[in-house]
Amino acid sequence: MTRRIIVIGGGWAGLAAAATAASNGAEVVLLEARRELGGRARTEAVDGFMFNQGAHALYAGFEGMRVLRGLGIEPKGNKPPLKGYGRLRGKVGLMPGTPLDSIRSPMIGLGAKVQLGKLLANPKKVLRTEMIGRSMQQWIEEQVSNADARLILAMVARTATYQDDLNSVAACVGVPQTIGALTDGVLYLDGGWQQIVNALRNIATEAGVKIDTDAKVESLNDIDDCDAVIIASGGPSHAAKLLGNRSTLVGEWAAAAQPVYASSLDLGLRSLPVPQRRFCLGVDSPLYFSTHTPSAKLAPDGCELVHVLRYGDAPGDPRAEMDELLDDAQPGWQEQVLAERYGKRWLVAHDRPTPEQGPLTNRPGPAIPDCDNVFVAGDWVGAHGLLGDAALASGRDAALAALTLM
């Protein structure tokens, strides 16, 4: 008998779930509240610049890539060069990103270079260090004693995990994420993350998924008769609301969740005032600036697309801090602006992997133990990856779990 599955939400998680379920023979309906699919992976064209919802990079060696390739999708884009700059104590300098740059970098002293060099020379050895029960911050402090070496490690970990508060992140998750991001790199995608949204939608529709947009679900009571429902439309508190009194466990997951936020400034520039400084991170401040062109096709010919982030959700408006980083890294940038979008406190992930929770195998879902035939998917769910990787992997795994029913 054909299984009938309803997927709520048309972001990466819902699309991966729908494409996986339908490719395996299920009859699938996907319900999306908005007119467009993609959720936080949507890309918006502004005056010819393709703006993702803030800086988005696809981790080249993680689970999301395996999910996409499993569905026959080969993402198109390029890895940005490793060479980058950092800003420490108000000064911008070459970052010790590669062994040669490390020797040349004026940013940190010899003591910090030696400690970082020893630690990062052998990534496999790093993965054998003791991590269980520790936060990322504790782990960093155990590995290096030099204050600047600690700041550099925290900066790299922040960029790889999107987490501002490293005391609240499990080392056993954050360290492999950071080492994987450093060794395998990331991809900036041609046309933005919409490329993957479109590819997933095409695979889903070719496999027979019926997609209804402008179809907001308020409660599972509104759902037609089916064999399984996959909730891929929000975090645990949203799932708890849709479920009503069907599950108490999801309410507990919601109470424990610690969402991750960032503020984002997206810019289309005529050109970069300092062309060699394409990438600059705050070493002693949680700030990110990266030029996503020309690694990816995202701007009219010759123009540049820049993303600036302020990690975390500190009170107040971080816009001035972000402008300051740009002033230091790219003086005169304001005269080059052709397109601009700024957003405060964007939701990056519905939950973070805390030291108390431990490995990702302890994360909720996709199955809901006290509620049969309903599954969850999203960047807070399942045993694989963070952020977009978790969304894709939990979408796939929720579909596979729903298919084993009956």
Ligand X SMILES: Cc1cc2nc3c(=O)[nH]c(=O)nc-3n(C[C@H](O)[C@H](O)[C@H](O)COP(=O)(O)OP(=O)(O)OC[C@H]3O[C@@H](n4cnc5c(N)ncnc54)[C@H](O)[C@@H]3O)c2cc1C
Catalog residues that contact ligand X under the rule CB under 6 A.
8-14, 31-34, 39-41, 53-57, 216-217, 232-234, 262, 264, 346-349, 378-379, 387-389, 391
Q: Which long-range contacts (CB under 8 A, 24 or more apart) does 90-96 make?
A: 90/328, 92/277, 92/280, 92/328, 92/329, 95/152, 95/281, 96/152
Q: Which residue number, 215 or 338, has a Cβ lying nearer to ligand X? A: 215
Give min distance, CB of 146 to ligand X, in A: 29
For residue 88, the one-letter residue type is L
Tell me whether residue 10 or residue 355 sits nearer to ligand X (CB atom): 10
Q: Cα(192)–Cα(76) distance, rounded to whole angstroms?
A: 10
Considering beta carbons, is residue 365 or 388 the nearer one to ligand X? Answer: 388
Residue 53 or residue 137: which is nearer to ligand X going by CB?
53
User: How far separated are the first and last CA of the chain, in Å rounded?
Assistant: 9
CA distance to 31, 57, 77, 326, 387, per residue, from 350 (Å): 20, 18, 27, 29, 9
Amino acid at 179: I
Q: Least distance in Å: CB of 34 to ligand X?
A: 4
Smallest separation, CB 261 to ligand X (Å): 8
**DSSP structure string for 30-64:** EE-SSSSS-GGG-EEEETTEEEESS---EETTSHH
CB of 12 to ligand X, least distance (A): 4
- In this complex, which beta carbon is closest to ligand X, that of residue 34 or of residue 246? 34
Nearest CA-CA partner of 31 in 232, 228, 208 = 232
CB of 351 vs ligand X, minimal distance in Å: 11
Q: Report in angstroms how near the CB of residue 150 gets to ligand X at its nearest.
A: 24
The CB-of-139 to ligand X minimum distance in angstroms stands at 22
* Cβ proximity to ligand X, 8 vs 287, nearer residue: 8
Tokens of 197: 């949204």
Between 36 and 130, name the residue whose CB sits nearer to ligand X. 36
- DSSP-derived letter for residue 193 is T
The least CB distance from residue 254 to ligand X, in Å, is 15
Report whether 8 contacts 229 (CB < 8 A): yes
* Residues counted in the chain: 406
Q: Could you tell me which of 392, 386, 350 has the C-alpha nearest to residue 237?
A: 350
Nearest-CA neighbor of 369 among 256, 203, 252, 206?
Answer: 252
Q: CB-wise, 60 or 249, nearer to ligand X?
A: 60
